[in-house]
Homo-oligomer: A and B are copies of this chain.
Amino acid sequence: MLPWSADLAGRLEEHVVVSELLRGNPLGDPHERPVLVYLPPGYDDEPLRPYPVVYVIQGFTGNVAMWHNRSPWRQPFPENADALFARGDAPPAIVVYVDAWTRYGGSQFVDSPGTGRYHSYLCDEIVPWVDARYRTRRDPASRAIMGKSSGGFGAMITPMLRPDLFGVLATHAGDSLYEYCYIPEFPAAVRHLRRYGGDIWRWWEDFTSRVPFTKAEDATLINLFGVAACFSAHADGRVDLPFDPETGVIRPAVWQRWLDWDPVRMVPAHADALRGLRGIWVDAGTRDEYHLDLGASAFCAALREIGISDEIVHFELFDAGHGGIDYRYPISLAWLCHRMHANQAAG
């Protein structure tokens, strides 16, 4: 493999999906979305063979074109995934790279009046679109979802909400245990907002009227704003912060709306869905800046609590922070493919 390109053993198809569910979304973001569909080596040789599918979703600020981004001494995930299949290290699968970008940075893969219906778009538009065009296996035990950070969050909650679709998942440093991934950000945000009279909209106007990410506050505030738009928007799209912007005092009702989306806290109410899953990969770095190693531990503890066997769950902490952990994706992808292969044999 050369540093600036790679020939694939399989092939990567780039499509545009016209989403009716995203049409007219509150942010005016495009409703025509790119989707990448990777077909493993051999796909064309066995015209009747159906394949399991792995849906790959991205972290906050990600969009699907970034899968082509190149880093020094590393290959992009789609190339590493291809190499995995080419070497025979994983049973073949179709891999679908989904786009859920918004101009606020992301969608958390939920339906929200603040951003749009990205959960439904994923489940009710993308999945059927893929199934209609490719030789896919359609049982949940043959359909996986994986992601990192907000994408890991999406990979945890989507199967809880739609166990009829997804039976296998992998989360890398997925947002969870919100007291540790979100609360430590709030005081930083309060301090930043002092410069904007406590009004995050004033910051947003500033952010969008200049080169973004040139001010120290940009990263903290976009995360806060984007997540609030997903979790605590009003029906008319207005966004509530989960704290008083002057004092930082938590607003319990708003914060509860966030907590309702904490995967750790969601487990008991979705116990049946989770107990039906056929493979759950959970990992995070021991130095994760958002403390998602604790979130990962807590999520696994919650799974054990509802009686999910250790055989279903792979839990792993590794020495890393939140960034630069894309090298974990091929590892979990191989695991997911083996799981789905075994499910199929067993099923």
User: Is A25 located at the chain interface by the 8 A CB criterion?
Assistant: no
Q: Which B residues touch A250, using CB under 8 A? A: 179
> With A74-B212, A248-B180, A297-B247 given, is the CB distance from A99 to B4 under 8 Å?
yes
Whether A69 lies near B69 (C-beta < 8 A) is yes
A320 to B72, CA, bound (A): 23
A179 to B247, CA, bound (A): 12
User: Is A177 located at the chain interface by the 8 A CB criterion?
Assistant: yes
Whether B68 lies near A3 (C-beta < 8 A) is no
User: Is A214 located at the chain interface by the 8 A CB criterion?
Assistant: yes
Whether B213 lies near A73 (C-beta < 8 A) is yes
Stretch from A57-65, A227-235, A332-340 contacting the other chain: A57-65
Whether B74 lies near A66 (C-beta < 8 A) is no
From B66, B99, B249, A264 is in contact (CB under 8 Å) with B249
CB within 8 Å of B: which A172-227 residues: 177, 179-180, 183-184, 186-187, 190-191, 211-214
Whether B5 lies near A298 (C-beta < 8 A) is no
User: Is A238 located at the chain interface by the 8 A CB criterion?
Assistant: no
User: Is A2 located at the chain interface by the 8 A CB criterion?
Assistant: yes
User: Is A276 located at the chain interface by the 8 A CB criterion?
Assistant: no
Distance to closest chain B CB from A211 (angstroms)? 4
Whether A61 lies near B72 (C-beta < 8 A) is yes
In the complex, which residue of chain B has the Cβ closest to the Cβ of A190?
B294
Q: Which B residues touch A287, using CB under 8 A? A: 191
User: Is A291 located at the chain interface by the 8 A CB criterion?
Assistant: yes
Residues of A within 8 A of B (CB): 2-5, 30, 34, 61-66, 68-70, 72-74, 99, 101, 105, 177, 179-180, 183-184, 186-187, 190-191, 211-214, 244, 246-250, 264, 286-287, 291, 293-294, 297-298, 301, 319-320, 324, 327
